[in-house]
Copies of this chain bind each other. A is one copy, B any other.
Amino acid sequence: MAEAPTPLPPGSSIGVLGGGQLGRMLSVAASRLGLRCHVFEPGAEPPAGDVAHRVTMASYDDEAALRAFAESVDVITYEFENVPATSLDLLGSLAPIRPGRTALAVSQDRLDEKAFIADLDIPVAPHVDLGSPDDLAAALAEHGPGIVKTRRLGYDGKGQVRVTPGGDLAEATAVLTGTPTIFEALVPFEREISVIVARSLTGQVVCFDPGENVHRDGILHTTTVPARIEGATADAAAAIAARIVDAFDYVGVMGVELFVAADGDLVVNEVAPRVHNSGHWTIEGCVVDQFQQHIRAIAGWSLGDGRRHSDAVMTNLIGDDVETWQVLAAEAGAGVHLYGKGVSRPGRKMGHVTRLV
């Protein structure tokens, strides 16, 4: 039997690629455990910089900066998924990267991700690799209405076009001729849930209670726990999430979004190899939240107690929503989180509020 890994002791340093709000909350979680974060971020004034022990502001192709960063930390994780592979090659030669490269690479490509999950006999939405407008016409004829999505670099509804048989395909055609895309058939579902799952270095797997998600304009609007699903459905969703992280030999927190059909059948929509917006409620709802769970996992610690002690509704503050901060701050039962971003833009995640209910 393999020896149990030695957990990183308090005082150790964690490198975080990406300095957004997820990095910010990871850094706070690390501090609780006596660990320090060193954030690597190309952009100026990164939100995570306010609470990081150290910040390197440099481009992802700055070899010297990458090298110095990796040599200063004990383990590297990421909150930003589109770090160039060559940068990861360099970093990975100097410090362990957790979660591993496989999960990152696979989840960066919608087609590869669906193939990986389908290979585990876990249902995914019917989909077609689109090489040409003819492929799209054929997909519509076979599957009915759906969504054309870029295979890579899509998030928060970006790079997605709804398509219907007989509808105007000009926009979708423009997208699919410029970049690799897939067609995803619409899956009939009653609600969307997500499972935030954590897997430790020794293979321990724990899931937070599934949250029920509502999107607006392609961006997560609210997550409500508990989700309005049967206990058996929740168990099945957790089992699916566990199979996925096991198959990746994953270390850290992963967000798994699923569609729930009226009969309780589950289809995996997508996975994110990182802490996830739909898990923010865990800060108020659990003793150990998703951010601490991720830090524990990548630091080789045992996972913490993620049981939900309170029901909660998390609502994102998108763009100008954040202007209501004074009202939210005065509201009973509301935990307000502002990400320290100087400029609010439409569609930009500026903060969130979690209400215990």
What is A's interface to B at a CB cutoff of 8 Å? Answer: 7, 10-11, 24, 27-28, 31-37, 49-53, 284, 287-288, 296, 301-302, 304-305, 307, 309-310, 322, 325-326, 329-340, 342, 351, 354, 356
Contacts and interface: CB of A to CB of B under 8 A. Distances in A.
A36 B340 contact: yes
A340 B28 contact: no
Kindly name the residue among A51, A331, A338 whose own CB sees the greatest number of chain B CB atoms within 10 A.
A51
Nearest to A49: B53
A27 B51 CA distance: 8
B329 A301 contact: yes
A15 B52 CA distance: 17
Contacts of A51: 27-28, 31, 51-53
A337 to B, nearest CB: 6
Report copies per complex.
2
Contact of A34 (B11, B35, B304, B351): B351
A339 B52 CA distance: 15
Kindly name the residue among A28, A31, A53, A330 whose own CB sees the greatest number of chain B CB atoms within 10 A.
A31
Contact of A305 (B310, B334, B337): B334
Nearest to A33: B338
A31 B28 CA distance: 9
Given A28-B51, A34-B351, A50-B36, A10 B329 contact: no
A295 to B, nearest CB: 11
Contacts of A338: 10, 32-34
Given A11-B340, A50-B53, A304-B329, A31 B24 contact: yes
Given A7-B326, A11-B340, A340-B10, A287 B50 contact: no
Contact of A33 (B310, B332, B336): B336
Nearest to A37: B50
- Nearest first, the 9 A-B pairs at minimum CB distance are A34-B338, A302-B330, A51-B51, A50-B53, A31-B51, A287-B335, A10-B338, A305-B332, A34-B340
B11 A342 contact: yes
A287 B331 CA distance: 11
Nearest to A24: B31
Contacts of A296: 329
